[in-house]
Amino acid sequence: MSQRAEKPGRRALLAVFAHPDDESFGPGGTLAMCAAEGVAVWLVCGTDGEAGTVEAEMLAGYANTGQLRAAELCCAAQALGITGIDYLGYRDSGMAGSPENQHPQCLHQAPLDRVAGDVVASIRRHRPQVVICDNEFGGYGHPDHIKLHQATVLAFQAAADPEQYPLAGPPHRPERLYFTAFSPGFIKWVVRLMPLAGRDPHKFGRNHDIDLVQIMSWETPVNVKLDVRPYLDRKQAASACHKSQGGPQESLRWVPSFLLSRFLGFETFMQGFPPLEPGRALRRELF
């Protein structure tokens, strides 16, 4: 776990995600852009990624899947320019309904107030103005994503209260909290195109356990849209570090390149705090 505190006055962003690879396959362009602009980008990684499917030959030289994925995360962090990583150390819970959900050390089984306390400690250590995490649906319904969303919402408020988690450091109040938001337009195109390519939109991803049709019903408001096209090379380099997991580009190789570049070149967020009135204009920055 990173122990370095952020310098007063410097812009800082804390990204809270569940697995090694979420930072790259998700808002990697945003993290790279912020780092290039001088923002201190800190990452909280909630789990060891142990439930991820890995080809046996990739484990050569590693004690287990978690160790391999930690090495991949360090590679990706360098590619994105991430300042440091806080590992929470929970076990990967796997997708909803899988046997891994019942493991006593997994994130899904951890008490919510304990996980929130972990995030509070990171907020108080790094003192960010901006915090980002997955949305209430966990992006694609992953239990660990949902749990860290819930914990981060609690921690965002608790971090400013000296009465809560007093051993986690001096209180700090971040200015803004954002949740990742998918572009429903792109997903609709993918759902339409998949049957033409002989693929089932209910069984998307490396393990065919992501239901894109269901995800379309989880539409959230988009308050911020960032043009990260100048940083796509860094995002792609970071994604390539997670070679054991393939990533969305592997699953979307059959998508026309102009659609794929548009999808990867823009990253969108919903503002969770402070709440926005409906109809507010789309913003182009996080800070």
- Domain locations along the chain: 12-183+219-273
Q: Which two tokens mark 176?
A: 């803004």
CA 216 to chain centre: 19
Q: Please choose, from the candidates 93, 124, 112, 109, the residue with its C-alpha nearest in 3D space to the C-alpha of residue 154.
A: 112
Tell which residue, 78, 79, 59, has the closest CA to residue 69.
59
pLDDT of residue 257: 67
In a structure prediction context, what are the per-residue pLDDT tens digits for the chain, which is 287 residues long? 455 555 667 899 999 999 999 999 999 999 999 999 999 999 999 999 998 888 889 999 999 999 999 999 999 999 999 999 999 999 999 988 888 999 999 999 999 999 999 999 999 999 999 999 999 998 888 999 999 999 999 999 999 999 999 999 999 999 999 999 976 666 777 777 778 778 877 777 666 677 777 777 777 889 999 999 999 999 999 999 999 988 555 555 656 666 667 778 899 999 999 988 777 888 999 99
Calculate helix-pair angle for 143-158, 112-126, nearest 10 degrees: 60
Shortest CA distance to 160 belongs to which of 135, 272, 17, 168? 168
Q: Quote the tokens at residue 266.
A: 């823009």
Instruction: Give me the CATH code for the 12-183+219-273 domain, please.
Output: 3.40.50.10320
Residues in the chain: 287
